[in-house]
A and B are shown apart, each in its own frame.
Chain A
């Protein structure tokens, strides 16, 4: 039973490029969460999605960031026109039901913007 998978594990982008981060939830999980973590800080919630729906995006920056969780395929966090401040570790988690359930985290994608 594979856990939450994220790819790529490391991503380097130049300022102005686009970054696409992928997350495959655990089998049977239909709820996905994205978090961002800066060095020496805790995880900051970004967005919560259920299949084909965004449930809560209160932690997402209003511009340049978007997320989707299509009916088929992984959830994708997309960052357009990246800036140096976007450099961070991005973690995805999944749960079988809502946020009150235990969340299972992936290994994260480390984004570095040059």
Chain B
């Protein structure tokens, strides 16, 4: 049973860099790691996806060590609007089963002025 573990909550201040780490010890060879952001009363929104090493896009970076048993979402210079719940999801391609598609409780990030 694939499982991810994240901190329940984090606090930060505007302009700081925030790093959220997700543990996924049972990650399979063909699993990708995807992070989503969810605001209250909205559906999750894709942030970034990666398989290994480092991936960067216009909103975030994703760091994945060689053993792939964890990953870190890095949000540079957060603003108040980044206050949300962040979910780490580990899942494969065609062979994904339902348990891998279940999001954990996520990390509730609160950004303060």
Give A contacts to B, CB under 8 Å: 4, 33, 35, 41-48, 56-59, 91, 93, 97-108, 110
9 closest Cβ contacts across the A-B interface?
A105-B43, A100-B93, A99-B96, A58-B98, A42-B103, A45-B101, A43-B103, A98-B94, A59-B98
**Given known A-B contacts A42-B106, A108-B43, A100 and B101 have beta carbons under 8 A apart:** no
Give B contacts to A, CB under 8 Å: 30, 32, 34, 36, 41-46, 49, 87, 91-94, 96-106
Tell me whether A58 and B97 are in contact (CB under 8 A).
yes
- Hey, which chain B residues are within 8 Å of A35, CB to CB? 101, 103
In the complex, A46 Cα to B101 Cα: how many Å? 9
Report which of B30, B44, B91 forms a contact with A91, defined as CB distance below 8 A.
B44
**Given known A-B contacts A91-B44, A105-B43, A99 and B105 have beta carbons under 8 A apart:** no
**Given known A-B contacts A100-B92, A102-B46, A42 and B98 have beta carbons under 8 A apart:** no
**Given known A-B contacts A42-B106, A102-B49, A107 and B94 have beta carbons under 8 A apart:** no
Q: From B85, which residue of chain A is reached at the shortest CB distance?
A: A42
In the complex, A56 Cα to B97 Cα: how many Å? 7
Tell me whether B105 and A42 are in contact (CB under 8 A).
yes
